[in-house]
Structure 1
Amino acid sequence: MSSAVRFGVNYTPSEGWFHHWLDFDLDSVRADLDSIAALGLDHVRVFPLWPYFQPNRTLIRPRAVEQLVALVDAAAERGLDVNVDGLQGHLSSFDFLPAWTRTWHRRNLFTDPDVLDGQAAYLRTLAAALADRPNFLGITLGNEVNQFAAGPHPDPDRATEEQIDAWLTRMLAACAQGAPGKLHLHAEYDATWYQDDQPFTPAQAARHGAVTAVHSWVFNGTAQRHGRASVPSEHHAEYLVELSKAWANDPHRPVWLQEVGAPAPLVPPEHAAAFTEATVTHTLDCPDLWGITWWCSHDVSRGLADFPELEYGLGLLTNDRRPKDAALVLARAAREHAATPAARTTALVVPADPSVRSRCAPGGPVFDAFFRLVADGARPTTVLDTRADDQDHLAARGITEVVTPDQVLPVPPGTHGGTRS
């Protein structure tokens, strides 16, 4: 695995959005990829829609798979590597699940034996079709599939932590069977790190798959609480990257900032470039960063209905493929970035118990303490409370100072505060 940081974009087709698979036009795809490659980016993440590719549990459409291969080959012609998301799943507020898992055929996505067989066959088929392509990075199991496993989803597929662990193990194995040696991983939205009852846990995120993926969106309460140009908002992606490291067993496990964007109106369009620059700059100061993949490539057409308003303008490029100022910021970072960040020597203690992970969420003591340290000029990382006295673990990560949230945050009147250890 290269030590150079990768810069890429989540590919949202300019014509038809992800419904383009229904009317696949390779010339349009090539034009989109040309506009991405012109920015100097090196990879894209692409999204076959699961019900379009596997409309029946035992039917994986050969023509759809051929179109995916054609897209990957077109990317190769433009110097772009490709990561493929499998189980779509959930995208931009819409759920895309095959009919054989819903309503009259309602079966749990994470525990039903027949569904698991179908999912594994599908992932293995996609991986095998691309295994010999040099620019194929690997499979991400799906986009934020944890949103199906708990509230606030209106119809969740409930599962235990142990069942999710078994699901991850089996699905990643299916990817590896199809394409051995590739970068296979899974990716969830930030409820994994912040929501106490999520069965997808931080430990799973940091230990299953080839890299840890984090998705950073400041509409999770961060920008609402603190404002678009605040320390927490501009450093939120950096925080998730460093938070994830507390649970990793490998002290230098790579972390991929796989999604991050500038959501309006919390980040107004005229401020998107400044937000992008701040986010990218601070994230690049994280050691062991695999890459940054911006959400997203092209705006959603206003001809498509019912998207949340913020989704229409998230692209680095307009719907007619013109780069915005934020695109130029990312292009410049891709062109100029060279420095390797030093180790982060100060570690903030976080609870290993996933039932209290909300302490790490916006408004929680870990969250607030991290950004207090940042505001004070520190470059913090995190460490589990169960490892805070493990000198071998601390040394392997370059940590020389361990602090708890109560040693960082202001002490309430009438209480006694501690000092840094």
Structure 2
Amino acid sequence: MTDATTEPAEPTPSSRVSGPLRFGANYTPTRGWFHHWLDFDIGEVRADLESIAALGLDHVRVFPLWPVFQPNRTLIRPSAVEQLRRLVDTAAACGLDVAVDGVQGHLSGVDFLPAWTRTWQRRNLFTDPDAISGVEAYLRTLAAALADRPNFLGMTVGNEVNQFSGDPHPDPDRVDPSGAAAWLDRMLKACEDSAPHRLHLHAEDDKVWYLDGHPFTPEHAVGRGAATTVHSWVFNGTAQRHGPTGAATLHHAEYLVELATAWAPDPRRPVWLQEVGAPRPHVPPRSAAHFAEATVRNVATCANVWGVTWWCSHDVDRALADFPELEYDLGLLTVDREVKPAGRRLARIVEELRSHPPAPAPRGLALAFDPGDPATAPRRYTCAPGGPVFEAWARLADGGARPALVRADRAADPDHLRSRGITEVVTPDEVLP
């Protein structure tokens, strides 16, 4: 297995991403939610995608359900793969690029794992050789099926698959950081081998940045794949502590982008805000449009953000039972494809930022943080909501600053500071009373 402390190879120039800021949505089908793969209707998919494109968005992130596509370890259903190809082609006709998540995995509070990984055939997703080879074959198949599609952006290994690896999951597949690194390397290689030079990456929730002892680490996030992803959800204690319109809430996504930049070996590495949304009741409906505008404008000040992909395109139909309450109303559009206030506001901001791209904000002031050993980051809690780094950064943002973040072991390196335009470094103790 790859040692977690080993620096992976830098991405090749062909895997770098550049260009104008991208805006998209995580596609949630209006008819049947992600269960639509069981009753696939390309007409309904087309209507959904047309309603997304009408907002001025340029891409969608889509989610094959893993148990539907690979119900047996050695059976990847050709008809399901063909449905995915048809969806991608339909998106192209609507003017949309498509990023595809592989291992689904975990969506909206629901786990979707095939029977060959659970109960009587229990296999650890990250360490069992048969499970690893099964996932690898699945990712290779999906990537190869889409490699010739011009609007295929690339594969994400899976949606927040890291949450299976430890607490608080009720039935975790335990792995250590070196095992997580080896698993990611193998899965990303499968994607790259099958569809070279696309935007292949991996995506975790904020445990990677905030939870001490979590086996998926910040170094994994910034050192593997063509870009770093961040998922910004303010129900993690941010909105509870600071309210729906507090600076920490409205700047949370910006903070995560800057935190990822501070961890990266190359500060120019692109960061994709792959999920962000306005969850009830933490952001009440009357505040959702303001939250969307402030979040996007704040993220647009970051120098290396690749794009913003809103969660989610359409609401979840309330005819479907047992979702957490906050999951039903996150859409930019209703299940009848009517644009909601947040959707109208986002469409307006996207049009403005496309026609007048903002210059990145200078970030001469940097807040130093010390996570401990960079390989395992045993003091991630300091950067989490309520931690001294998070709260100090939020206080600076509330005062009108656009602070950067810098790891303590780099804070005295003049070359690193110069490369990022940092001219002043402060500590949390100097900011907080």
Task: Name the TM-score, length of structure 2 as normaliser.
Answer: 0.94
**Do structure 1's residue 12 and structure 2's residue 31 form an aligned pair?**
no
TM-superposed CA distance for 1:53, in Å, is: 0.3
Equivalent positions of 1:287-298 (< 5 A) are 287-298=303-314
Which among 344, 351, 354 is matched to residue 363 of structure 2? 344
Structure 2 match to 1:49: 65
Question: What is the one-letter code of the residue matched to 1:381?
Answer: A
Structure 1 match to 2:3: none
- Structure 2 stretches lacking a partner, 5+ long: 1-16
Question: What is the one-letter code of the residue matched to 2:126?
Answer: F
Structure 2 match to 1:60: 76
**Do structure 1's residue 399 and structure 2's residue 418 form an aligned pair?**
no
Residues 280-310 of structure 1: per-residue CA shift (max 9 Å, x gap)? 1111111111000000000000110000111
Structure 1 contact 277–330 (Cα < 8 Å) conserved: yes
**Do structure 1's residue 382 and structure 2's residue 405 form an aligned pair?**
yes
**Do structure 1's residue 362 and structure 2's residue 385 form an aligned pair?**
yes
TM-superposed CA distance for 1:200, in Å, is: 0.5
Equivalent positions of 1:181-200 (< 5 A) are 181-200=197-216
Structure 1 contact 343–397 (Cα < 8 Å) conserved: no
**Do structure 1's residue 77 and structure 2's residue 93 form an aligned pair?**
yes
Structure 2 contact 100–155 (Cα < 8 Å) conserved: yes
Structure 2 contact 371–382 (Cα < 8 Å) conserved: no
Residues 352-405 of structure 1: per-residue CA shift (max 9 Å, x gap)? 421110111111000011011112221111111111111111111111111111
Structure 1 match to 2:108: 92
TM-superposed CA distance for 1:255, in Å, is: 0.6
Q: C-alpha separation between the residues in 2 aligned to 1:403 and 1:159?
A: 36
TM-superposed CA distance for 1:2, in Å, is: 3.2
Equivalent positions of 1:106-121 (< 5 A) are 106-121=122-137
Which among 19, 24, 38 is matched to residue 3 of structure 1? 19
Residues 321-357 of structure 1: per-residue CA shift (max 9 Å, x gap)? 0001111111112211111213311111122421110
Structure 1 match to 2:343: 327
- 2:203 match: secondary structure: coil
Q: C-alpha separation between the residues in 2 aligned to 1:382 and 1:132?
A: 40
Q: C-alpha separation between the residues in 1 aligned to 2:224 and 2:304?
A: 17
Q: C-alpha separation between the residues in 2 aligned to 1:293 and 1:310?
A: 18
- 1:246 match: secondary structure: helix
Q: C-alpha separation between the residues in 1 aligned to 2:230 and 2:270?
A: 11
- 1:124 match: secondary structure: helix
Structure 1 contact 211–253 (Cα < 8 Å) conserved: yes
Structure 1 match to 2:158: 142
Residues 135-156 of structure 1: per-residue CA shift (max 9 Å, x gap)? 0000001101111011110011
Structure 1 match to 2:237: 221
Structure 1 match to 2:331: 315
Residues 137-190 of structure 1: per-residue CA shift (max 9 Å, x gap)? 000011011110111100111100000000111100000011000000001110
Structure 1 contact 207–247 (Cα < 8 Å) conserved: no
**Do structure 1's residue 373 and structure 2's residue 396 form an aligned pair?**
yes
Q: CA RMSD in A?
A: 0.8
- 2:229 match: secondary structure: strand
Residues 261-282 of structure 1: per-residue CA shift (max 9 Å, x gap)? 0000111112111111111111
TM-superposed CA distance for 1:18, in Å, is: 0.2
Structure 1 match to 2:4: none
Q: C-alpha separation between the residues in 2 aligned to 1:98 and 1:267?
A: 34
TM-superposed CA distance for 1:208, in Å, is: 0.8
Q: C-alpha separation between the residues in 2 aligned to 1:350 and 1:178?
A: 39
Structure 1 contact 374–380 (Cα < 8 Å) conserved: yes
Q: C-alpha separation between the residues in 1 aligned to 2:350 and 2:248?
A: 24
Structure 2 contact 361–402 (Cα < 8 Å) conserved: no
Structure 1 contact 8–294 (Cα < 8 Å) conserved: yes
- Structure 1 stretches lacking a partner, 5+ long: 411-421
- 1:293 match: secondary structure: strand
Structure 1 contact 172–184 (Cα < 8 Å) conserved: yes
Ranges of 4+ aligned residues in structure 1 off by more than 4 Å: none
Q: C-alpha separation between the residues in 1 aligned to 2:19 and 2:203?
A: 21
Q: C-alpha separation between the residues in 1 aligned to 2:421 and 2:320?
A: 50
Question: What is the one-letter code of the residue matched to 1:408?
Answer: V
Structure 1 contact 32–321 (Cα < 8 Å) conserved: yes
Q: C-alpha separation between the residues in 2 aligned to 1:408 and 1:270?
A: 32
- 2:201 match: secondary structure: coil
Structure 1 match to 2:264: 248
TM-superposed CA distance for 1:124, in Å, is: 0.8
Q: C-alpha separation between the residues in 2 aligned to 1:103 and 1:370?
A: 45
**Could you tell me the percent identity over the aligned residues?**
68
TM-superposed CA distance for 1:3, in Å, is: 2.2
Number of equivalences: 410
Q: C-alpha separation between the residues in 2 aligned to 1:165 and 1:131?
A: 25
- 1:215 match: secondary structure: strand
- 2:274 match: secondary structure: strand
Task: Name the TM-score, length of structure 1 as normaliser.
Answer: 0.96
Question: What is the one-letter code of the residue matched to 1:89?
Answer: G
**Do structure 1's residue 179 and structure 2's residue 189 form an aligned pair?**
no
Q: C-alpha separation between the residues in 1 aligned to 2:364 and 2:172?
A: 41
TM-superposed CA distance for 1:259, in Å, is: 0.2
Q: C-alpha separation between the residues in 2 aligned to 1:102 and 1:184?
A: 27
- 1:333 match: secondary structure: helix
Residues 10-47 of structure 1: per-residue CA shift (max 9 Å, x gap)? 00000000000000000000000010000010000000
